[in-house]
Structure 1
Amino acid sequence: MGTEERAPGRLRVAVAAPLSEENCARILALEPRIDLVVDQAPLPPMRWPADFAGDPSWHRTPAQQQAYDAALDSADALYGIPDVDPAALARTVRANRGLRWVHTMAAGGGSQVKAARLTADELERVLFTTSAGVHGQPLAEFAVFGVLAGAKGLPA
């Protein structure tokens, strides 16, 4: 899979991690050349915001797993590392010869790619990007807030 014909100028992006309907709509509004493949049903429920791994007690049915894999294996690009799992990433890269790009928002994306033990050819074929640094300013502000809160006795 992943090698079927695409309309020129289109990018098929499979959502492999939780992504809100609002953000899906924003992506499509800002970049109409994307065919966004979104099905939240085969994704584990998040226990808190940015819990990309989701509830560990949740498991896909065999039909959900088949549909999830088929979506990933038909994409030009992935939003998220499948199941936040290096083995699932390796399976997807090897099953989908048309995969060109994987983007992860979650911290640790680089270590997951390394742990997937992809070959040099696979790493050459697939571009990996992250959103590293996007939260730098708010985290710095939070750190300063924590220091000031402690210095001023805010908890008391």
Structure 2
Amino acid sequence: MEQKIEVLQKELTETKKNMEIKERLKKAEEQIENQDERIKALERETGKRNSEIQQAYRLEEKAAVLRSDRLILIEFTSPQKRIEVIRKAKHVKGSKIWISENYLKPVQEAKRQLLPYLKTAREEGHKAKIIHDKSSDK
């Protein structure tokens, strides 16, 4: 009798573990579906298709799978496509999608150093912006 109880308890425990795993898999599948829907929505908003995307991948670890705000890095087939998407990014303002360029560390630091000059120029009434430095691409 005790052996039957132990066997039943073991089966219940295994079933419970299987259910937890299935639930996690189901949530992960829902996340994937949601990401696919987001990508399709982004394609509709920006007018871009997957054929213009060379590579897309997440930047954070898999441990954060259940978080919905993980960064996605997209590499386009040409610089013109990237620039076009950046220009059309204003159409998705107000949504949960945020589009920006990914600069190298030296470029980020150079822009950070120029930021005080940008602020003072704007305070003086000048139209000012920091543009991409083509010499840093070399």
TM-score by length of 2: 0.28
TM-score by length of 1: 0.26
Higher helix share: 2
